[in-house]
């Protein structure tokens, strides 16, 4: 006889669990990325450990968190910067195929930041944070964000998809 622990749950609890899983697994993830620049004009990028490629710092919104607090948390965790000033929204990106990991709705913002004062909090996720001048930027950024940074650098109108 096979043991099925879910079978022990009341039918109403199982229905609620199935509905919650359906919503959790079939909804886009909301995140924020920072086209972050220091006062001296250098851009802050992080190098991801999963691909080894450079990217803009940022991440996904946690339950109960605002976009503004998520931005500050992610910049501190990923890049070790303790001072962030929001400047403007660069764009809202929602194309389902942009991120190979999941369907992400990404808000890209331009922000002014202080230079990093400590290394990334999780070296298993982020290998390093570095400042780049305009002429030093990597040609290609991770997860399709090259165009996003280009829009932020060019002061282009807000993108919406």
* Each residue's pLDDT tens digit, 60-79: 999 999 999 999 999 999 99
- Is 121 part of any domain? yes
* Residue 48: band (very low, low, confident or very high) from pLDDT cuts 50, 70, 90: very high
- Specify if 10 maps to a domain: no
pLDDT of residue 14: 61
What's the pLDDT at 8?
59
122: in domain: yes
**Dist. CA 154–CA 134, nearest whole Å:** 11
Q: Considering the domain boundaries, does residue 9 fall inside one? A: no
The token pair at 56 is 């803009």
Tell me what the mean pLDDT of segment 51-59 comes to. 96
Query: Which residues partner with 86 through β-bridges?
Result: 111
**48 three-class SS:** strand
Is 1 a residue whose pLDDT tops 50?
Answer: no
pLDDT tens per residue across span 80-114: 999 999 999 999 999 988 877 788 899 999 999 99
pTM (2 d.p.): 0.83
Both tokens assigned to 123 = 């070296």
The verdict on residue 102 lying in a domain is yes
Chain mean position to CA 5: 36
In-domain check, residue 27? no
134 in Cβ contact with 41 (< 8 Å) = yes
Residue 30 lies in a domain: no
**Domain of 73, in residue numbers:** 36-160
Tally the domains of the chain. Answer: 1
Q: Are 104 and 98 in contact (CB under 8 A)?
A: yes
Q: What is residue 135's three-state secondary structure? A: helix
Q: For the domain that residue 132 is a member of, what is the CATH number?
A: 3.90.79.10
Per residue, the 3-state secondary structure of 59-112, as one string, reads: EECCCCCCHHHHHHHHHHHHHCCCCEEEEEEEEEECCCCCCCCCCEEEEEEEEE
> Taking the alpha carbons of 67, 72, 75, 78 in that order, is the dihedral positive or negative?
negative
Position 29 in a domain? no
């Amino acid at each position: 006889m096979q043991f099925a622990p879910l079978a022990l749950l009341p039918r109403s609890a199982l229905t609620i669990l199935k509905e919650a899983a359906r919503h959790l697994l079939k909804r886009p993830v909301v995140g924020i990325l920072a086209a972050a620049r220091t006062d001296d004009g250098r851009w802050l990028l992080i190098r991801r450990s999963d691909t080894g490629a450079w990217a803009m710092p940022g991440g996904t919104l946690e339950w109960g968190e605002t976009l503004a607090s998520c931005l500050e948390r992610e910049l501190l965790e990923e890049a070790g910067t303790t001072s962030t000033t929001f400047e403007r929204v660069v764009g809202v990106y929602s194309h389902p195929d942009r991120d190979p990991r999941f369907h992400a709705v990404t808000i890209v913002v331009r922000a002014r930041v202080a230079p990093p004062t400590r290394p990334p909090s999780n070296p298993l996720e982020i290998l390093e944070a570095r400042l780049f001048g305009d002429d030093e930027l990597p040609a290609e950024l991770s997860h399709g964000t090259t165009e996003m940074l280009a829009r932020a650098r060019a002061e282009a109108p807000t993108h919406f998809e």
